[in-house]
Structures are given as C-alpha cells and as structure tokens.
Chains A and B, each alone.
Chain A
C-alpha cells in the first residue's frame, strides 16, 4: 500500500481536490478495539451518482407511498393494495391474497429474492449493496441532509473538530432533527403496511392510535437514526452477512469496481504540461478516497468493504476529464478484463502507454449464471403455478381419534370428523356435502342452527368448521377409504378430501 504522508506542492489536480487524503479505514497503531473514524463522503457528480439519486427516489417513493394505493376487493375485504393484516390474518398484494397456511408463497418470494441476488451479484457484483440496499439508501439520504445543513466534506470535518459554538449547535441540532423526522416517517410508513393507512394516520393525528403501532414507529425511528446516522458503513462491514459471503458468488468474470493498476501506476502528483512518460495516470489526487462512503481506497484492490456504488468512478472520471486523459482509470470491469487490458497495454509498449486498453471480455453465459438462472426460473414457475392455480375453495378433514369409532345400540358403526371448509372468496357461500366410498351411510352435522349436508353455510373469507358424524350399518372390517366432497351450490365448484372410515380395532 502506497502511503505518502508528506504534503506536496500545489498541483493541477489539487485545485480540484484540495487536501491530500488518507483512507479512513487503515491500520494504525495497535488497537484491540478499533475506533470508528467517521467517514465524510465528498459530493460528486457523474453517471453513477445520477443513477443512485434516481434509484433512491424510486425506492423511497415506493416505500413511502405504496401503502396509500387503493385496490377494490368488494365489500368484504380491505381496499388497501398492499396490506399485511396480522389479526385477519391475511396478506394482500393487489389481486393476490394469502392465508396463513399459504405462507410458503412468502418463502418462495424470499428464495426467489435470494437467488436473484446471487444471480445479479455473480454478473455485476454488489450492485444491490451499492444502490438498492435500504442501509445504503437511507445512509445516502442522511449524508445528503448532513451536507445540506453543514456543507461538504471539509466544512463538515471542520465543524466536527471546531469547539462548541452557536453555529455548531444549531447546525448539529438541525441535522439530527431532520434525521429523526426522516426516521419517524420511515417507521410511520412501515406500520402502514400492517394497518389501513388512512385510518391509522387519522388515529395517530387524533392521538387515538394503539400502543402497538406507536411502539413500532418509535423503535424504527430509533433504528433508522442509529443505523443511517451513526452505524452507516459499520453495518456493511461488521453486521451484514451478505458482505461476507458475496465472495462465494464472485469469479473472474464478475463485474467489480476496479482500479486499472497497469495504467495508473506508478502514481504521483502531476503538473499541467508535464510529460506522462515513465509514469502512471493516477495523479494521486485521492478524489476516489474522498467520495467513498465506505472510507476505503479502491486503489488497494477489491476489498470486503466495497459496496460497488461507483462513486469513485464518477470522481476519477471527473478528474481524468479535467486533466485531459481518457476516463476509466477506475471502472466497472471484471478481474479477467483488467488482466486482459494489462496484457494489451504491455503488448502495445511505449506507444500505447497513454491509451486505454479496455478489453471487452464480459461473459454473460457462464455455468454460474446458468444455474442461478435455472433455479430462479424454476422457483418463479412454481410460484406462478401456485398463484394461478390457487383454489378459492379448500377442504380439510380432521378425523376423531378418541374415540376412533363408536358402536351404536343397533349395531351401526359411527365415525366422527371435523370438516373445515375454506372459503377464500369474498362472497358468502353455501355448500353441499357428499361422502363416497361407504354404502347406506347417514350424515349427521352437529352445528348450531340448521346446518345439514344439503346446506353448509360459510361466510366470505373465512373457514367454516363443522362436526360431522357418519354412521352406517356395517360389519366390522378393514378400514374403508372414503372421500368427502363439498360442492359450491352456486358455482358447482368442488373440493375433495380423502379419509377413512374405521369399524374395528386393528
């Protein structure tokens, strides 16, 4: 690792980035517990920064606004498009509705998300971390607030080092207040996914909300404030497991953020008009270090801390443009590509020393992308199947186990069952019950009111539970396989369930 700590003469590059900078997360004197050095990312403009702003607007927009989307489901169901009703208990996502026993769909979504993450990581590195991860998005937002109130990197550092003054107090107070307000909105939006949004907001305004959502808002306000305000890059480095096992998805064809060492070294300060002969293109302006939200020096190579946000690329490209060199000294490239470009550079010799040698070696089709893609497609198809063929009517039978069977006074044998009819539609339904596989049987339904096998009433979006006795004049014999069939009286849709009729102790 090159560490030149002596301040040098003013150069062209230093007019753009005025201070000589060291990476914050660098080994110093021996410490058993490392002090967290605050990272003050400098403002940067460029392609990747723009993408990050757009992604932030998009993801935060989804997060804060989607509880307000309405979706008409008729009179017997809520009209919130995305709602997890824990007391229902039902989960709604637009036209999809999930009952607790269908939680495997949630499992499927998680598996799909994990495999998609593997897939995209094997192709393009940690772009999830750099652009989409809530930790990154909220930290970015908090840094933006910090910069808005206190100014850019140097101003913030100065303010932090300055003695207490009126200016310091109001600036810090304002920053932290805005953070807390953002935190409150974050927690507030979260609970809206579990409640009817307009009603809950009304309740909160009228101070009538129950303690459960309020304590969740408080908890998430606190966690947002701590995670995005203080913990920041520590979360990615020390808490997040994904950062640790991402290397398992990397190979030499994975896009990473790389410093073109062959082109950049030997680095050194550069004055306008000086020749580039015999030296590298890196002018050691440390722009890449100053903008890094993780506080690392990308020129040290691929590091565990790097979240692949691309801000160092923007910073370096900006500098390259100003000093009239080609962009791409730091760029998204694969390790194989970097190697290839180094080889090309070597081949070109002196003549090609000042050109870029970007090798287009990116390979989309690799065993890794095939099997991640394969699993993804498979899980996606299974889920699609489950959703498309989700039956609005389900039947479950619980057989009595004590007693297994009952002999009646006239010698008939009776078996008891509990019938559960799941009516997942939003309409009240009437069903008929029929039992196949046993002759001369009589069905007796024990229920309040006038339930009978010709009319089992199940209200909309609920489970009807009926105690059913079946008796038949039958000699003790091997257990009979019987089949329960319920039929919707209106749509004639049926659901079946296989059970047994036991007549003796075997």
Chain B
C-alpha cells in the first residue's frame, strides 16, 4: 500500500483521496484510528486462543476438541451435579420426615411439590396429561374421586406397585365381562345400565326392581350395596358425577359388556423412594387429597369432602 502519489483533496468534501479511482469515482480517505487496527488484530489473537482451547473447527469425523476438553454435555453433567448437591440438604431432611412433618414445614412442603411437579411432567403426564387433567380411561388426578384411595399412603402404594402391573404387590382386581362371558343377557345389561344411570342422577326415573336385583347380585360385592364403590377393589363410586370412561348409556353398556381394567406401571425400581413420596405429596395437593395433615384451618372444608366420599 505504498502510495507515492501527491495528496489530492476532493473538492466537494474537502477530504483527501486515496488516489484509487474506479470509473471516475475516487475513494475518500477517512482513516480509522490505528488502535482500531490493533483491536482487530487482538481479536484475531483471541480467536486463535479460543479455538485452541475450545472445540471449533470441523474436521473429517467430527471437530477439533480443544485443549480444555470442553463439551456442553460435560457442562450439563456439572450443572446437574451442582443441582443435586444443592438438593441434598433438603433430600436428607425429606427422607427422614413423615408426611405430617412435611406438611408442617414450608420448606419441605415446597420442595416436595416442586420435585413432584417436575417428576410428574417427566413420567406421568404421558397418560394423565399435563397438570394431571386425565383423559378417557386415565383418571383426572385433580378431582376428589379416587379408585384406590386418596390418602397419602394410598397414593404412595399405587405409585410404588402400580395397578395391574408386573409387580408382585401390585393393586389388582378384575371386573367380569358380563356380556362377553355370557353372565348377563343384553336385556339384563340394559336394565342394569338404567339402574346405574339413576344412581348418580336421582331425577332419572329409571329405578326398576329388576335392575336393583341384578345390581345387588352382580355388582354390589365390589361397588357396594349403594354403588358407592370400594377403594379396596379399585371399584369406582357409581353415584358421583365423575366417569372414567364416560357416563352415557352407550359407554356404560360397553363397560358392563366388556368390562374395564386400566393398567398403571409400578414405579418402584424406576423412581427412587424420595421421588415417589414427592409425587404422592404433589398429587395429594392437586386438590383432591383425602386426608388433612395440617393442624387447623381447612378442617371444616375437609369434613365435607369425607362425608361425600363415604
């Protein structure tokens, strides 16, 4: 860039030109400060240091690894270790605390709910939906209707061993397929469907002696003489407003004809006991939990809940 030319000043701008000319256009010379050049050179040096230390260049079969051996996977591992480390102080307390203690300690309570919420998203939301809203055949976990019981110990047991799962201690029961196995005729099923529909809606005038007779004989052993269900057999309450598979005539007929029996895997062995207990607390606190562990305040409210359940 040695320019031995004489300095030439552009008439219009009064700025000197570089002497470079294209089609009659001359380049003005408004020089950058020299330190700007140094900053540029320094950033090149910085770049060289950077790709020596960190992964950078694509090469056949991958990329240069860099002297520090940095990968984002390692960083993730470190971050997770850090989080586990931070959790450990709560985990230890949580492990040794009873449910009652957890419900009286705001920190443990928050810890359990947060851990439960996160474990729920990872493991349970696939079937039960985000926030436990449920779907046909998959119970809504927000309501106060429980098949196998809504006390903390019940929930924990369900989580641990599953329902009709492979675990030896799993919760199990089997509704007979009344139609398919020829236990009841189509007409009888129809009669009992009317009876069941009337159970949850007293306005419906479908109460028949015949229906009551079939119900008492075939259904009451599990669902109870009043059809209120039984947590021991996972038999749903037939007198409430909540239907797992649907409360219309057609669905009910199908249910009685073919029977139902949902499956939930056992989580013991997949999730550690702390996570299962966190989930139990979280599910209990979704709004339908069946026992009150806090000292006062909502007892009245809760008393009504239990009444309804009985």
Which positions 434-483 of chain A face chain B at CB distance < 8 Å? 442, 444-452, 454-455, 467, 469
**Is the pair A33, B106 in contact by a Cβ cutoff of 8 Å?**
no
**Max chain B C-beta neighbours (<10 A), residue from A401, A406, A449:** A406
Q: Is there contact, CB below 8 Å, between A416 and B18?
A: no
B133's partner among A30, A402, A454 (CB-CB below 8 A) is A402
Interface residues of A in 14-44 (CB under 8 A from B): 27, 29-36
Q: Which B-chain residue is minimally distant from A457 (CB atoms)?
A: B106
| B35 beta carbon closer than 8 Å to chain A | yes
Point out the residues of chain A lying under 8 angstroms from B10, CB to CB: none
Across the interface, do B297 and A36 meet the contact criterion of CB distance under 8 Å?
no
Residues 173-202 of chain B: 1 if any A CB is under 8 Å from the residue's CB, otherwise 0?
Answer: 000000000000000000000000000000
Beta-carbon contact of B287 and A407 below 8 Å:
no
Given contacts A414-B287, A447-B109, contact A29 B7 (CB under 8 A): yes
Complexed CA–CA distance, A444 and B297 (Å): 9
Residues of A within 8 A of B36 (CB): 33, 238
**Total contacting residues, chain B, CB less than 8 A:** 49
- Chain A residue numbers with a CB within 8 Å of B216 are none
Which chain A residues lie closer than 8 Å to B129 at the CB level? Answer: 402
Residues of B within 8 Å of A408, CB to CB, are 143-145, 241-242, 288
Complex Cα distance, B132 from A36, in Å, reads: 68
> Shortest beta-carbon distance, B204 to chain A, in Å?
14
Say yes or no for A400: interface residue by CB 8 A criterion: yes
B48 → chain A closest CB, angstroms: 22
- Kindly supply a per-residue 1/0 record for chain A positions 98-139, scoring 1 wherever the CB is within 8 Å of any chain B CB and 0 otherwise: 000000000000000000000000000000000000000000
Inter-subunit contact B34/A35 (CB<8 Å): yes
- In the complex, are the beta carbons of A409 and B3 less than 8 A apart? no
Number of A-B contacts (CB under 8 A): 118
Chain A nearest Cβ from B138, distance in angstroms: 13
Q: Does B31 contact A (CB under 8 A)?
A: yes
A234 and B1 within 8 A (CB): no
B142 CB within 8 Å of chain A: yes
B18–A409 contact, CB under 8 A? no
Give A237 to B105 CA distance when docked, in angstroms: 61
Chain A interfacial residues counted at CB < 8 A: 39
Which residues of B from 1 to 18 have beta carbons under 8 Å from A? 1, 3, 5, 7, 16, 18
Residues of B within 8 A of A409 (CB): 143-145, 237, 240-242, 308-309
- The verdict on B296 contacting chain A, using a C-beta distance below 8 Å, is yes
Give chain B interface residues in 94-130, CB to chain A under 8 Å. 102-110, 129-130
Interface residue A61 (Cβ < 8 Å from any Cβ of B): no
Task: Report if B29 contacts A (CB, 8 A).
Answer: yes
Q: Which residues of A contact B19 (CB under 8 A)?
A: 30
Q: Are B287 and A446 in contact (CB under 8 A)?
A: yes
Partner of A400 from B3, B131, B295, B297 at Cβ < 8 Å: B131
Indicate if the CB atoms of A448 and B31 lie closer than 8 Å.
no
The complex places the Cα of A448 from the Cα of B113 at a distance, in Å, of 11
Q: Are A32 and B241 in contact (CB under 8 A)?
A: no
A444: chain B residues at CB < 8 Å are 287, 298, 301
Determine if A411 is an interface residue (Cβ-Cβ < 8 Å): yes
Counting CB contacts under 8 A, is A275 at the interface? Answer: no
Cα distance A451–B288 in the bound complex, in angstroms: 18
Closest to B6 in A: A30
Q: A402 with B130: in contact, given A407-B242, A444-B298 (CB under 8 Å)?
A: yes
- Is the Cβ of B33 less than 8 Å from the Cβ of A33? yes
A349 located at the interface, meaning its Cβ lies under 8 Å from any Cβ of chain B in the complex? no
A477 to B31, CA, bound (A): 74
Choose among A34, A446, A447 the residue that contacts B33 (Cβ–Cβ < 8 A): A34
Interface residues in chain A, defined as those with a beta carbon under 8 Å from any beta carbon in chain B? 27, 29-36, 231, 234, 237-238, 400-403, 406-411, 414, 416, 442, 444-452, 454-455, 467, 469
A-B residue pairs, 8 tightest by C-beta:
A402-B131, A452-B297, A448-B109, A409-B240, A448-B106, A403-B133, A33-B34, A34-B31
Provide a sorted-by-A list of 13 A–B residue pairs whose CB atoms are within 8 angstroms: A30-B19, A32-B18, A33-B33, A34-B31, A34-B34, A231-B35, A407-B242, A408-B288, A409-B144, A448-B105, A449-B295, A450-B297, A452-B297
